[in-house]
Amino acid sequence: MRIVQTRRISQAFFFILFVWFCIVSTVGEEFWQLRDWPVNWFLQLDPLVAIGTILTTHTLYLPLLWALATVVLTIIFGRFFCSWVCPFGSLHHFIGFLGNRKKKTAEKIQLNKYRKAQCIKYFVLIVFLFMAAFPSVAATLQTGLLDPIPLITRSFNLVLLPIVDGSINLVSVSSRFYVGAWLVFGIFLTAVLLNLVIPRFYCRFICPLGALFGIVGRFAIWRIGKNQSECINCKLCEKSCEGGCEPAGNIRISECVLCFNCRQECKDEIISYQTQPSLSGELTNPDISRRGFVLSLAGGVFAVPAVRLSNKLGSNWYHRVIRPPGALEEEQFLKRCVKCGQCMRICPTNVIQPGGIEGGLENLWTPVLNNRIGSSGCQLNCTACGQVCPTSAIRPITLSEKLGLEEFAKAGPIKLGTAFVDRNRCLPWAMDKPCIVCEENCPVSPKAIYTQECFNTIRDGVLTVKKVSGNIIETVEEIVPGRFATGDYYCVIESNELRKISANTENTIMILSDSQFEKKPAPGSKIEIQVRLQRPYIDIEKCIGCGVCEHECPVSGRKAIRVSAEGETRSFDRRLLLKR
């Protein structure tokens, strides 16, 4: 079999494997749902994730050790990952092939020539790595914005899968929603469509992972090159060159993605994969100018303090940035989150959403709870998000730790924030209507939402007694029939006796037969119609900020009970109570 055939099989295999891992990132017991599928494997293979977190945290989180294998293989074989494994690269490869296949050979050679702008990806990498390496406290991990593995993971999980599955609902019971997914989609689509302009546009000009491989792989033991210095110079080897690395002349090793198309095209078999440097000469180092390097270094160094000028990590923190259970303290969290969206994909209730920039630029696409979306707040007995987080930005907590049981009893349950009742919007508080859906759904025992009973005289609720017979009071005023028959209305007479109303017609009120008045109200006397209300209160010591109340609140626009991140366990600064 020819080597390009082998490469295509490898690309198809890893692409399908990647899509399969996206599909099985579903909580459930079926074989196609999350059991022991290594759904993070591509993210773990990605050395940019590993190096980024090493720079920010000075540690290598165990599952990321896979990246070492990628690095070692790259040192030996060159940028094999780009053309043999990377699902994003394979997608570009395929689209680029489709879009340009009808062009003439001369056009193709022109299309696949080396361009000076290919150095941009190195600058992107330098900016990100310096942001990550920024002296301790201020470091931030932003590689995930353009790192191809998190990017395609995010795009498939938050955009493509929900769109495809949204109409058939095979993978999830109800349609999935992701706030601001249009931006994720826009970037993904742009990256894919740019292949029609130049094949592998993203890989050649933008991809910081490719840049990293370019630097790591420049001393590769095996490399593409010519095995004799002279050839007929037909340039056919550059016709389908995926990396734009000029194999005909001085081959640029750091740009070569090992597609082997050049070897395939060379009829004289002058191009080969060999240990000896190309006999027509080679350039191993990336084409980075000193000025460009200094500028991007400065950019990386200044970017972090510039972003932090909004003070979103200080007193100006955004209260709607509610992190999933087990998330690290905010600064530590931003040092690890690669914005891959795995937690948002796995979340069975769809409550974990990609963050926007209201919480600061760094917050973009990091996981944030939005209780208005999904099937129900953060479910009490679930810790799925932490189990799939590839970098432990959300720790893989146990249920005992989340709920504060057993050895965690002293620490108490993990609080995501605190619910606040908006008394200006709440039905029992603002409109004298019974409700307490929030209390009903509060999953904590004893409930963090409790109620206090009160009886309020309704509007125009003072009526004049015409006649009383048995348990029926006739009134002078007209009433809407059946209005007080809901079981929530009471009648008060002058002696302050309170009796439950069972029914009413347009001018009679029927008192529940087993709760008659001790002394009948006299004709001409006044009675008051009162509604019994249970008004919700939050027990701040009990509330865990799960947001089930906010999700269920029937005031569906701006909810009458809302969770905000004050009091979250992970932050000392945002605590609300004196203790804990």
Cβ–Cβ < 8 Å for 121, 206: yes
Q: C-beta of 243: minimal distance to other proteins in Å?
A: 43
Give me the DSSP letters along 238-252.
Answer: GTT-SS---TTSSEE
| Binding residue (CB under 8 A) for other proteins from 1, 556, 557, 579 | 556
| Binding residue (CB under 8 A) for other proteins from 553, 560, 561, 563 | 553
- 221 vs 459: CA distance, rounded Å: 87
Residue 57, Cβ neighbours under 10 Å: how many? 18
| Binding residue (CB under 8 A) for other proteins from 261, 272, 349, 475 | 349
- The amino acid that residue 276 corresponds to is Q
Identity of the residue, 85 or 346, whose beta carbon is nearer to other proteins in the bound complex: 346
Cβ–Cβ < 8 Å for 152, 88: yes
If binding is defined by CB under 8 A, does position 197 make contact with other proteins? no
Identity of the residue, 226 or 402, whose beta carbon is nearer to other proteins in the bound complex: 402
Identity of the residue, 320 or 500, whose beta carbon is nearer to other proteins in the bound complex: 500
Number of DSSP helices (H) and strands (E) in the chain, helices first: 22, 14
- 322 vs 353: CA distance, rounded Å: 10
Q: C-beta of 70: minimal distance to other proteins in Å?
A: 35
If binding is defined by CB under 8 A, does position 445 make contact with other proteins? yes
- 50 vs 132: CA distance, rounded Å: 12
- 147 vs 48: CA distance, rounded Å: 7
Q: C-beta of 372: minimal distance to other proteins in Å?
A: 13
Identity of the residue, 482 or 523, whose beta carbon is nearer to other proteins in the bound complex: 482
Identity of the residue, 327 or 438, whose beta carbon is nearer to other proteins in the bound complex: 438
Q: C-beta of 576: minimal distance to other proteins in Å?
A: 22
The residues with which 561 forms a beta bridge, in sequence order, are 421
If binding is defined by CB under 8 A, does position 353 make contact with other proteins? no
Query: How close are the terminal C-alpha atoms of the chain, in Å?
Result: 66
Please provide residue 456's backbone torsions phi and psi, each rounded to the nearest 5 degrees.
-115, 135
Pattern 135-174, other proteins, x by CB under 8 A: ----------------------------------x--xxx
Q: C-beta of 529: minimal distance to other proteins in Å?
A: 16
**What part of residues 363-392 is at the interface with other proteins (CB under 8 A)?**
374-376, 379-382
**What part of residues 461-520 is at the interface with other proteins (CB under 8 A)?**
482, 485-488, 500, 502, 512, 514
| Binding residue (CB under 8 A) for other proteins from 27, 54, 361, 373 | 27
Q: Angle at which helices 47-57 and 208-216 pack, to 10 degrees? A: 90
For the chain, the 3-state helix, strand and coil shares in percent, each to the nearest 5, are 40, 15, 45
Identity of the residue, 29 or 518, whose beta carbon is nearer to other proteins in the bound complex: 29
| Both structure tokens of 156 | 């498939």
- 322 vs 333: CA distance, rounded Å: 12
Span near other proteins by CB under 8 A; candidates 215-223, 254-262, 319-327, 428-436: 428-436
- 204 vs 48: CA distance, rounded Å: 17
Q: C-beta of 19: minimal distance to other proteins in Å?
A: 21
Identity of the residue, 27 or 183, whose beta carbon is nearer to other proteins in the bound complex: 27
Q: How far is CA 167 from CA 161, 182, 185, in A?
A: 10, 18, 18
Judged on CB neighbours under 10 Å (0-12, 13-18, 19+), 165 is middle
Q: C-beta of 554: minimal distance to other proteins in Å?
A: 4
Find the helix or strand (DSSP H, E) in which 386 lies. Answer: helix 384-388
If binding is defined by CB under 8 A, does position 415 make contact with other proteins? no
Q: C-beta of 239: minimal distance to other proteins in Å?
A: 34
If binding is defined by CB under 8 A, does position 437 make contact with other proteins? yes
Span near other proteins by CB under 8 A; candidates 131-139, 250-258, 332-340, 545-553: 545-553
Identity of the residue, 25 or 571, whose beta carbon is nearer to other proteins in the bound complex: 25
Span near other proteins by CB under 8 A; candidates 24-32, 123-131, 223-231, 310-318: 24-32
| Both structure tokens of 513 | 């037969």
- 435 vs 475: CA distance, rounded Å: 29
Identity of the residue, 552 or 568, whose beta carbon is nearer to other proteins in the bound complex: 552
- The amino acid that residue 368 corresponds to is V
The residues with which 467 forms a beta bridge, in sequence order, are 474
Span near other proteins by CB under 8 A; candidates 70-78, 106-114, 443-451, 463-471: 443-451
Q: How far is CA 166 from CA 169, 174, 177, 203, in A?
A: 6, 7, 9, 30
Q: C-beta of 176: minimal distance to other proteins in Å?
A: 12
What is the binding site for other proteins (CB under 8 A)? 27-29, 169, 172-175, 348-349, 374-376, 379-382, 427, 433-437, 439-447, 451, 482, 485-488, 500, 502, 512, 514, 534, 548, 552-554, 556
